[in-house]
Structure 1
Amino acid sequence: MPGTIVTDVPTPDADAVAALQGFGVATVHEAMGRVGSLGPALRPIQQGVAIAGRAVTALCWPGDNLMVHAAVEQCTPGDVLVVATASPASHGMFGDLFATALMHRGVRGLVIDAGVRDTATLRELGFPAWSRHVSAEGTVKATAGSVNLPVVVAGQTVRAGDVVVADDDGVVVVPRARVADAVTASQQRVDKESAAREAFAAGELGLDRYGLRPVLDRLGVRYARWSDTPEAQ
């Protein structure tokens, strides 16, 4: 449906969104079965910032940010703007003017599978962004795309209304239908890790806690004294 702007996207539960933000990208990704990550190439332009919010999606043509302008109008407080392009693009499609407009609307941040610019100003403004590129190359505003239809970012489909979680570790997308399950699974993982952390602090080894010694044995891993190795000869 090219040339379409969808206006009435469902909003996920606010408490669940806040919980996912607190759990963080790595925990949510693992808890969902290691799915939903947008990969290592989308990097934050800042450090120490974690966000989560409803996805508002925009599909643009490379070097054309017309539909980002259209997407701004559809953003509401707590949203995360997710921008994809119809084919790979490295243009600086987003800068401080967009950030100013989005901050006025209460948007929490940007995820873009292309480039951003004005990064120093974005950091000064406190507007977080995760992007594939940082580029000064400008854009035009001439080609129709879509807003709030599914987009593909780093091989993952992102739908309007999904929950986007982003922090120093990258970005993960939680499908709207899985939000409640993701919260439950993430809490279970946090509890499990807390127990493991206490055990490790008391001196227990991961080899024993996770039952890995039989794995080493099955793989043929053997212990040897230094004096019996070639390095000691």
Structure 2
Amino acid sequence: MAGIVVTNTPRTPIELLDALAEYGVATVHEAQGRTGLLSPEITAVQRGTRVAGSAVTVTVAPGDNTTIAVAVEQCQEADLLVVTPTVQCDMGYFGDLLATSLKARGVRGLVINAGVRDLADLETMGFPVWSRCVSAEGTTKGVLGDVNTPISIANRMVHPGDTVLADDDGVVIVPRARVSAVLTAAQERETKEAISRSRYLDGEIALDVNNMRSMVKAAGVRYIDYLEWKDGQPS
């Protein structure tokens, strides 16, 4: 039954959000066992931004953005609005006026499995958005969805208060109960990558840095000198 608004939902602590935002989506995705990515049709509208926020989840009716307006009242500092229609719809559910209202409440951005508009204004005001498409077509009002209930968006489940991390590579969801563990794993992965990067700068290659030689040998790679190769076959 639509029209449910769950209040006083738990959030991920802001200090954990800020710490996780030091790492990119790709690193966090790998750090939590290559899980949590939204499907790649959800992309950044503005480039060069990375944010982490606590999810305020919203379902909206096809072609109606009423429930986004309802959700604004439930938002607070360091939240990130996550919106999906109950049926796929590419209309422009969100623009600069809703963004202004959300930004005034300290909301860090929007992830939406639908369309947005007013891109120039959103960029000017510095409100980051990740969406499935851009559409100038506006929505109507009067049909309700739900706020702060678990939702399925872009092939992932999102619960209120989960951490949403978004950057140019996409969007990854970290369950609220796992944020501390994933943060530790991301830190360890970043340290390991820094060592690898140093080795690459010194001229080493991935076969050695990643200890891949035995693997590719077992896979059957063969090295044949050019002088022994004729017409694409060993001579």
Q: Normalising by structure 1, what TM-score?
A: 0.96
Q: Closer, same or farther in 2 for the Cα pair 1:229/1:212, shift >3 Å?
A: farther
Per mean C-alpha deviation after superposition, the further-off stretch among 36-45 and 223-232 is 223-232
Q: Which residue of 2 aligns with 1:145?
A: 145
- Specify the SS of the correspondent of 2:184: helix
Give the distance between the partners of 2:175 and 2:102, measured in 1 at CA: 23
Name the amino acid aligned to 1:178: R
CA RMSD after TM alignment:
1.5
Q: CA deviation at 1:131?
A: 0.1
Name the amino acid aligned to 1:188: E
- Specify the SS of the correspondent of 1:111: strand
Give the distance between the partners of 1:47 and 1:8, measured in 2 at CA: 33
Residue 164, structure 1, aligned to residue 164, structure 2: yes
Task: Find runs of 4+ consecutive structure 1 residues off by over 6 angstroms.
Answer: none
Q: Closer, same or farther in 2 for the Cα pair 1:24/1:170, shift >3 Å?
A: same
Residue 41, structure 1, aligned to residue 41, structure 2: yes
Name the amino acid aligned to 1:109: G
- Specify the SS of the correspondent of 2:186: helix
Structure 1, unaligned runs of 5 or more: none
Q: Normalising by structure 2, what TM-score?
A: 0.95
Residue 75, structure 1, aligned to residue 75, structure 2: yes
Q: CA deviation at 1:141?
A: 1.1
Q: Is the 8 A contact 2:11 2:160 kept in 1?
A: no
Give the distance between the partners of 1:19 and 1:182, measured in 2 at CA: 11
Name the amino acid aligned to 1:78: A
Give the distance between the partners of 2:208 and 2:231, measured in 1 at CA: 29
Q: CA deviation at 1:111?
A: 0.3
Q: What pairs with 1:1-233 in structure 2 (closer than 5 Å)? A: 1-227=1-227, 228-230=229-231
Q: CA deviation at 1:122?
A: 0.6
Q: CA deviation at 1:12?
A: 1.2
Per mean C-alpha deviation after superposition, the further-off stretch among 128-137 and 222-231 is 222-231
Name the amino acid aligned to 1:32: Q
Name the amino acid aligned to 2:100: T
Structure 2, unaligned runs of 5 or more: none
- What percentage of aligned pairs have identical amino acids? 49
